[in-house]
Amino acid sequence: MSSPDSGQPVSFVSKTDMVVALIREMIITGELPEGKQLRQRDLAARFQVSQTPVREAMRRLESEGLLVGDAHRGFTVVEAELGPTEENFLIRAVLESLGASMAAPKINQEAIATLERLNEEMRQLAEDDPRYAELNREFHFVIYEHAHSPLLLSLMRLLWHSLRGGPKVARTRQESVAQHAKIIDALRAGNADAASTATYQHIMHVSHLDRP
């Protein structure tokens, strides 16, 4: 193969990782609806890779709970809409506050800076800007990643997948930004307890306002 390698950065881009990220994104954005049968050959052709990275990517996504596959029957996107949102927010609050407390003693200055940048971007967005959801997701996942627990990350991905499109949170963004700042402060101080509490209140506050 002699692909042009259009702008490949320094290193470490495994095609499997790339495909994992792409499929995950397609599931999250809804481009791949629930129950969609995934054809290895189609995906391989679409991504310009062979079937092998696609297969490994599917295995990973299966372990993450986003896909489910039977032998010789292929992989399908798992059904996302699960249960009443009220309880889903409770689950999210509990898990995220744990993630924050786990991340607090481990997070570094660079990540803190990233969080502040993301929060600042969110602050400057218009209330109805659709990019808010993506920034918000990124903000929270930066925290989870610094909890250094692959299991927690998998759970979070599954969780956010099922909340997909859901959290309405239309008019409380400025308040969310303020709460994000509180979380950042607690993380910077390495205060696991405060980070946990702030995160819990952040999410449950949103979920309460979420109710009609």
Return residues touching a second copy (CB under 8 A): 11-12, 14, 16, 52, 55-56, 59-60, 62-65, 70-71, 78, 82-84, 87-88, 90-91, 94-95, 98, 102, 147-152, 154-155, 157-159, 162
- The closest alpha carbon to 179, from 123, 108, 106, belongs to 123
Q: Phi and psi (nearest 5°) for 70?
A: -105, 155
Closest CB 84 distance from a second copy, rounded Å: 6
Residue 56 buriedness (CB in 10 A; 0-12 / 13-18 / 19+): middle
Closest CB 72 distance from a second copy, rounded Å: 8
51 vs 174, which CB is nearer to DNA?
Answer: 51
- The closest alpha carbon to 113, from 102, 101, 121, belongs to 121
Q: Phi and psi (nearest 5°) for 109?
A: -65, -35
Site residues (CB under 7 A) for DNA, limited to 6-45: 11-12, 14-16, 37-41
Per CB under 7 A, 151 contacts DNA: no
Distance CA 186, CA 80 (A): 32
126 vs 151, which CB is nearer to a second copy?
Answer: 151
Indicate which of a second copy, DNA, none lies near residue 125 (CB less than 5 to 8 Å, by partner kind). Answer: none
